[in-house]
Chains A and B, each alone.
Chain A
């Protein structure tokens, strides 16, 4: 990619961006100026990324320059109206994203350097590129929140902020939207005088405009920064200068200042922590936190600023939100160092950044919330990644595409390409981040934390030296981290070879699955341990190497390191103690503590108390280990590691015995025990109590315990007035009723005693003397009520009426009604109670107690409710859609996905639908219809081009519903082919060439299309770029091909018409073919032709699985090739070349 390379380097040297933004109802005008220092002679084209922007003019060194604007991701598959095959889509999408990938030197905007300047290029002089553009009603990239009330924009709390998934800066100004293109920035924002514009870098000054009604904020960022790390937030913010660090400024929306003060009072400690462990000062000269509504994600970090959801703010009365908010702050700050200051070389190096920031965030967790919390977190993360990988295949941290060939696709199990961040499913990306930090932890285990921190320090200090250098692009590359550079640093610092580790977890996807069992050989006094692996199931890999096994014997705890080898599954471990046991002797534990144990439960012949495989979680694995119930009980009671305790609890679910009951109850009562373990024990106890209902004696599980801990001494049925000073018992108090409600009696109903107990808790709840809010506690009591609900006994199809309402349910419903109504008068923090009430109502509906009806939820799902409430309501609607198979609701949800103002809500609807789908690919369902396929297809093909994340969500849902191949509900394609052949013969005739010309003229004469079109005074026959087109993927991307052909075959555009005043009012042809004015019907010869072609292709693929597409293409006969080319030409007029036309052609009819 020689041309691209040159262009990359240029921007790094010196670039100043000026951009003025007027915030009102989503209008945004501006210009950017790039100063480029070409390092390669013959720079004749410059490629930039830009989406949605309307570009008025481009000048290079004051000379008007021609430019072409083409965005293949707007509509991924052109005129493939009947090609509803996800495999096909994914390939095309990946190709489209590649075609504008800034890392590969591509972009949507291609600027032709005027020929007058070519000579200059040879002499490597500075080029100044000036682009004037506007952004009208952007659908993505910038999000406007404008409350619909009276008052000025500032009074209404209107604000705007930049957002997006990965590199999305191109949505709001033309740039090189790559993490590896560093440059310095000068940013200017002109906003309403009542507003504050917060952006990256130092605020130099604020100046009124001449009419004194606006202000211009001038920012300067001297640290070289990549465009995706640039952000903007404008709003009538209240400003709080951090009392501990004056260079840190916090911004929040009006009226929230008291909350901001409280929530930010802790930030300086996080700063101190990171600066201390990294032995490096915070790299930027200032830091800004901005809290905004309708956030895209909870936390996003940009150079010297972070944008947070306003819902993270809380008052001093709120317990549950406090640690969550602090975690978010820590995450943001960790990403400031690794992610913003240090950027990445390429997408495949992303794991290093996510890994390091996640790892140091973990260190913060350990320090602040304790080792138990940290280990619990690690286990949680590990469990989730293991579950995901076993379910969907694998997560590959460091994808390598040696030749970019399809056959090398490292993740054939996935329905999306992992070559680009923008094609990843959101869940995959979340798992990716988890896995990255877990692998960092594995590296730490291998080389020690000290070395690890030294490596980080080294990276940071190199980067900060580089950042202070001016105009030396080769130095600036020190600010980009690469996998190889990182590994080299590790080996330099630690002198250790971590190659195998990297190969296993970074270069390969998947996790390890162990099955363990053991036998004790009394004669030899040896533990015969058998560790089997499953490496054939999807998402698993084979592990060879050391594994730690900890054996707790009577005489103490012993670590053994076993070697997992190719064919050995049996391992003999000599035991240290004889089975004969000394009754009086205390038993030493791993941590040196010595405890008394009641050993009567033990096997008389064996000295083994419990065995743990890989106790330190130093392998990304799932372990299924078999040991006797008493061993799990000992492990729960006496092992001090919370991970072991949690493992024991989940194992004990299989052993509903009085002994398990006792062990769990003891844990519950033990105050030294980690509160999360105790909470987990509650649920396990509920489960085993329900299993042993016939033999259960005494009051319902946990009731007497709860009474003892939280009720009055004199009247045990009344709970004490709330006092949440002790957080551990607060969490336990919240959890126990929820778990108790899961108890079931012999009739599989919740015992009456338990229900009454919970109702009493609600009745006597008294928070007047409490320093903290009880909203989460009350919400959990409602959750407890809904947990107690069991399916209604009734005759089928009976309409639910008030009269048939069960008496217990009536009581529950009364509480819910009262709570929900009280929320309207005295709303709780984050409306936790409303959320629980909505969930409870859905549970009652689902269990047939009250009529199933989505209308209540739909009203709560409307825009204008608090986001948590909306999501709870939407979840209920999704559930209703799934249970009642309602096409109407599904349509309603999908239209919300298209129209809702909040990107996060749209994203969540799609992910909820994918999680709880109305049907799946293997199911017959009345909902699976051609309409739905069309709707979803349009959504992912063109309806979501303004939001990468949303498009991937749509792809994900499509995959869940229809699988990779053609949806079964569509009519057979062959049939369509015949019909179309008959109808469309004329179109596909050889007359196509002249007609094409006609089309073209028509196109150029159509003023509506001029704006999107191209003004190219000269051809670029000499361009080297032609070679760098990725021929392998081209095949799949019409978008790219037509672009390509267009460039080659159309020498010039007649009459360089200036852009019209409103070039963006593109009235797109309804379908690609309508250009011919003949057939508005979407079924066409073209698509079928293509389909046919595709079949052919598929067929070949089957035969030779890894057939190279490139070759395949050449094997095609020339006629077919010609046809394909023709088709692409035809497609051209419909190309949504204007960034503005988000409304896709196919959607507009």
Chain B
């Protein structure tokens, strides 16, 4: 039961993710590329500074990757530290602590910054920061109540936390409901019987057109009374639905057939019912033992003839 839910939610998640990247593909890509290029420039100049004349593209790429990771790491730590102290904007000290934490000697930084051979890099071209795609707004977002500071994140869309009507307006008019139920049942029955008639032997009422009003051929059965007398499973099911109080009278057999059609709760019930049924049967057996009915007595073994 839980499985499908998990799978379902997974599917939904992936769906939204992919649709998200897709919708904002070009601006965000541009933005990323521009920054990447700046980083590459930085790496190249640092290499030049270090005395390299040329470098393989792959090496530059690797270094770019490393530097990017490094900077990202610093950023994340800094953010953590700042949030740890209940702020939203990182301060210098946050960055300092971060650097120290990462094993970087902060004191060397000013010296390095003031080195002579440092190259000036042009600022990256101004690109629009990517516009976060507008989330699907369903319903009005709630504003914060007065006791919640405004810097707290906004409420999510209402549909994420309230019951959202996703089906069409239900038809409550009795007449239409009955009408629908009737025609639905009739359609099912007709389709089913037509199918049975098409796939099996038929009899027909008209000689000129044997396909009109096809009748499923009458087939004799070996024990005709069983079908005629025993209630069908459907009827038993209906009886069960309409009146569960009479269930006691029904045999285990019927209970099992009920459970097959029911879901989880049915399975639970089965667990409850089975021992009950067992005890009932044994009780009955006890009772029958007490009843002295000649038909319940054991069959005697034949007498061994001794004389011979």
Contacts and interface: CB of A to CB of B under 8 A. Distances in A.
Contact of B229 (A202, A207, A830): A830
A315 B206 contact: no
Contacts of B249: 258, 261-262, 316
B205 A856 contact: yes
> What size tier do the contact residues of chain A reach?
35 or more
Contacts of A850: 205-206
A767 B254 CA distance: 20
Interface string B199-223: 0000101111100111111111111
A802 B222 contact: no
B268 interface: no
Interface in B248-298: 249-251, 254, 288, 291-297
B220 A862 contact: yes
Contacts of B220: 862-865
Contact of B197 (A147, A193, A718, A821): A821
Interface string A753-778: 00000000001101111110100000
A866 B227 contact: yes
Interface stretch (A810-818, A890-898, A966-974): A810-818
A196 interface: yes
B56 interface: no
Nearest to B301: A208
B182 interface: yes
Nearest to A215: B299
Interface stretch (A306-314, A358-366, A579-587, A1048-1056): A306-314
B243 interface: yes
B239 interface: yes
Among A156, A205, A293, A818, max chain B CB count under 10 A is at A818
Given A769-B242, A820-B215, A206 B230 contact: no
B230 A256 contact: yes
Nearest to A253: B225
A715 B246 contact: no
A849 B71 CA distance: 92
30 contacts: A147-B222, A156-B223, A205-B294, A207-B300, A210-B302, A239-B296, A247-B293, A253-B225, A257-B251, A262-B249, A310-B229, A311-B225, A315-B230, A315-B231, A712-B174, A764-B178, A766-B181, A768-B242, A801-B208, A818-B186, A821-B215, A824-B216, A825-B192, A830-B228, A830-B229, A831-B228, A856-B215, A856-B218, A866-B224, A866-B225
A368 interface: no
A766 B182 contact: yes
A105 interface: no
Given A258-B250, A764-B178, A825 B302 contact: no
B175 interface: yes
Interface string B15-45: 0000000000000000000000000000000
B231 to A, nearest CB: 5
B135 interface: no
Contacts of A718: 174-175, 178-179
A241 interface: yes
Contacts of B207: 851, 853
Given A208-B300, A821-B196, 4 more contacts: A208-B302, A316-B239, A316-B249, A818-B189
Contacts of B183: 763
A922 interface: no
B223 A311 contact: no
A867 B212 CA distance: 28
Interface residues of B, number: 66
B235 interface: yes
A148 interface: yes
Contact of B206 (A246, A770, A800): A800
A860 interface: yes
A909 interface: no
Interface of B: 174-175, 178-179, 181-183, 186, 189-190, 192-193, 196-197, 203, 205-209, 212-232, 234-235, 238-239, 241-243, 246, 249-251, 254, 288, 291-297, 299-303
A859 B288 contact: no
A825 B217 CA distance: 12
A394 B241 CA distance: 56
A770 B205 CA distance: 34
Nearest to A157: B223
A824 B238 contact: no
Given A715-B175, A764-B178, A825-B196, A239 B235 contact: no
Given A712-B174, A820-B215, A827 B227 contact: yes
Interface string A781-806: 00000000000000000011110000
Contacts of A851: 205-207
A764 B212 CA distance: 24
A822 interface: yes
Nearest to A156: B222
A841 B215 CA distance: 12
B13 to A, nearest CB: 40
A206 B206 contact: no
B231 A818 contact: no
Given A207-B300, A821-B215, A860-B218, A829 B229 contact: yes
Contacts of B212: 802
A634 to B, nearest CB: 42
Contacts of B209: 801-802
Contacts of B235: 317, 773
Closest 3 CB pairs of A and B: A864-B220, A821-B193, A203-B294
A773 B227 contact: no
Nearest to B291: A246
B291 A864 contact: no
B299 A824 contact: no
A313 B229 contact: yes
A600 interface: no
Contacts of A262: 249
B3 to A, nearest CB: 32
B163 to A, nearest CB: 29
A157 B231 CA distance: 19
Contact of B243 (A209, A310, A771, A824): A771
A773 B241 CA distance: 13
A311 B197 CA distance: 29
Contacts of A205: 294, 297, 300
Interface string A841-853: 1000000001101
Among B179, B220, B224, max chain A CB count under 10 A is at B224
Contact of B246 (A207, A249, A316, A766): A316
Nearest to A834: B218
Given A206-B300, A768-B241, A813 B229 contact: no
A848 to B, nearest CB: 13
A883 interface: no
A864 B226 contact: no
Contact of A826 (B182, B215, B234, B303): B234
Nearest to A210: B302
Nearest to A831: B228
Contact of B213 (A317, A714, A817): A817
A824 B193 CA distance: 9
A936 interface: no
B299 to A, nearest CB: 5
A204 interface: yes
Among A215, A259, A768, max chain B CB count under 10 A is at A768
Contacts of B217: 859
B75 to A, nearest CB: 65
A455 B266 CA distance: 60
A246 B293 contact: yes
Contacts of B213: 813-814, 817
B203 A859 contact: yes
A865 B224 contact: yes
A149 B222 contact: yes
B286 to A, nearest CB: 13
Contacts of A149: 222-223
A715 B229 CA distance: 36
A255 interface: yes
Contacts of A860: 218
